[in-house]
């Protein structure tokens, strides 16, 4: 640290310099986060000092958090769901499986996840001492039910289904997973970190949430397609009893118990999620998702003209393209400013059409993509 403090102007200059090195979202096709809605930013600033780690001091913010959970419960098939605003999908997934582990009391617990599961489940294996078993995927990148059944044994404590997989945007057959969960008395967690704010607004209906009997918990993140500020994840349980295995005594706070993983946690995130959800409403999110889906279909149409096919017809605003000379094409696109990413198996170009993408930028991407393809073929 510098010995003497700098002036505000000097500090702001330093911040501006640092910000210039950050990538602005315009040409980013790899991110699951986006620019937050302006009303979320306003609410975030207003509640910047609020700490949900000691919510006895911040009962107004706590009310907002409860309202967010209520709105999310309504969105995800159970108005009586309970939970809290986490730091993101990772914390929500950790906490859901921590509940499953603590409830089961098995000595060598295992959890079956699809091979498409987000890497947060590898962190969970390490943190919670749970064996994570990866079930294979079918030709459409949904979890293969035969594989799930084959991995099941007496030490299985939970199943995980993904509603909006990170790489393919695919939705697992949650109803089939629920049947197995119910008949084996297993915890069923649905990771809808991305899909939670997309699937309810698609034209096609999917059974993926608490409306499916047997679903125990859901991850759904306001800081992804919810357009809220970072860090705002959502963890919802069907039963209040699921929060009990997470509870810890907090003798020196204004509250007696805490069930979050983080201690001090952002009240600003809860206020921001409340603000944007209340402001957009169901109609606003529907429009947003429709616009992203329209651009997603336009993208697929555009690349098909170059003979490029998606691995699956896009379910949501995530596309995996089968591109020859993938790394070369990505490198060329990078030189034109476009940030793309990849899927693991099979290796394909992964593109996410987030609300920060404009139609003009998308058309420019399609044109640049065609040019890069032609250049790499030369």
Q: Which of 34, 61, 90, 99 binds ligand PLP (CB under 6 A)?
A: 90
Kindly indicate which of the ranges 18-26, 87-95, 338-346, 358-366 contains the residues binding ligand PLP, using the contact rule CB under 6 A.
Answer: 87-95
Nearer to ligand PLP, 268 or 373 (CB): 268
- By CB under 6 A, the count of residues binding ligand PLP is 14
**Choice between 86 and 104, CB closer to ligand PLP:** 86
Residue of 36, 77, 83, 89 interacting with ligand PLP (CB under 6 A) = 89
Q: Which two tokens stand for residue 195?
A: 């899909």
Contact between 114 and ligand PLP per CB under 6 A: no
Which stretch, 89-97, 102-110, 278-286, 310-318, contacts ligand PLP (CB under 6 A)?
89-97
Separation between Cα atoms, residue 259 and residue 291, nearest integer Å: 37
Burial of residue 355 (number of CB atoms within 10 Å: 0-12, 13-18, 19+): middle
As measured in angstroms, the least distance from the Cβ of 120 to ligand PLP is: 5
- What percent of the chain is helix, strand and coil (3-state, nearest 5)? 45, 15, 40
Q: Which backbone phi and psi does 35 adopt, to 5 degrees?
A: -65, 130
Which residues, in sequence order, are CB contacts of 326 under 8 Å at separation 6+? 342, 347, 348, 349
Indicate the DSSP class of residue 345: S
Q: Torsions phi, psi of 82, nearest 5?
A: -125, 170
Nearer to ligand PLP, 219 or 329 (CB): 219
In the complex, what is the shortest distance from the CB of residue 228 to ligand PLP, in angstroms, rounded to a whole number? Answer: 11
Site string for ligand PLP, 22-51 (x = CB under 6 A): ----------x-------------------
Q: Is 191 in the site for ligand PLP (CB under 6 A)?
A: yes
| 161 is a site residue for ligand PLP (CB under 6 A) | no
Q: Which stretch binds ligand PLP (CB under 6 A): 72-80, 88-96, 131-139, 291-299?
A: 88-96
In whole angstroms, give the CA distance from residue 247 to residue 338.
45
Contact 350, 319 (CB under 8 A): yes
Strands 233-237 and 217-219, how do they pair? Answer: antiparallel
* 166 belongs to the binding site for ligand PLP (CB under 6 A): yes
d(CA 230, CA 139): 34
Find the binder of ligand PLP among 130, 193, 198, 308 (CB under 6 A).
Answer: 193
Residues that bind ligand PLP (CB under 6 A): 32, 88-90, 93, 118, 120, 162, 166, 191, 193-194, 221, 233
């Amino acid at each position: 640290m510098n010995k003497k403090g700098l002036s505000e102007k000097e500090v702001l200059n330093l911040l501006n310099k640092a910000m210039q090195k950050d990538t602005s979202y315009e040409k980013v096709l790899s991110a699951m986060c986006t620019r937050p809605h302006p009303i979320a930013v306003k609410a975030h600033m207003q509640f910047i000092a609020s700490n949900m780690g000691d919510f006895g001091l911040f009962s107004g913010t706590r009310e907002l958090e409860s309202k967010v959970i209520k709105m999310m419960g309504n969105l995800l098939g159970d108005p009586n769901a309970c939970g809290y605003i986490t730091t993101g999908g990772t914390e929500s997934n950790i906490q859901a499986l921590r509940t499953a582990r603590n409830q089961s009391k098995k000595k060598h617990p295992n959890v079956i996840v699809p091979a498409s599961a987000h890497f947060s489940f590898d962190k969970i294996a390490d943190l919670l001492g749970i064996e994570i078993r990866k079930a294979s995927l079918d030709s459409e990148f949904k979890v293969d039910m035969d594989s799930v059944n084959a991995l099941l044994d007496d030490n299985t404590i939970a199943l995980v289904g993904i509603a909006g997989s990170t790489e393919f945007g695919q939705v697992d057959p949650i109803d089939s997973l629920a049947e197995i969960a119910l008949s084996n008395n297993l915890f069923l967690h649905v990771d809808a970190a991305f899909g939670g704010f997309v699937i309810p607004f698609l034209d096609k209906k999917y059974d993926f949430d608490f409306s499916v009997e047997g679903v125990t918990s859901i991850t759904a993140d306001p800081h992804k397609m919810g357009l809220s500020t970072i860090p705002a994840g959502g963890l919802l349980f069907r039963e209040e009893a699921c929060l009990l295995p997470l509870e810890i005594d907090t003798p020196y706070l204004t509250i007696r118990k805490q069930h979050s993983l983080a201690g001090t946690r952002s009240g600003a995130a809860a206020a921001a999620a409340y603000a944007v959800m209340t402001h957009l409403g169901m109609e606003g999110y529907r429009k947003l998702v429709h616009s992203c889906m329209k651009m997603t279909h336009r993208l697929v149409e555009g690349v098909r003209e170059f003979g490029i096919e998606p691995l699956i017809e896009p379910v949501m605003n995530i596309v995996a393209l089968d591109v020859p000379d993938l790394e070369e094409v990505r490198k060329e696109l990078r030189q034109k400013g476009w940030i793309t990413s990849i899927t693991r198996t099979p290796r394909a170009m992964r593109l996410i059409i987030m609300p920060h993408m404009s139609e003009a930028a998308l058309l420019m991407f399609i044109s640049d993509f065609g040019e890069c393809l032609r250049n790499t073929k030369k």
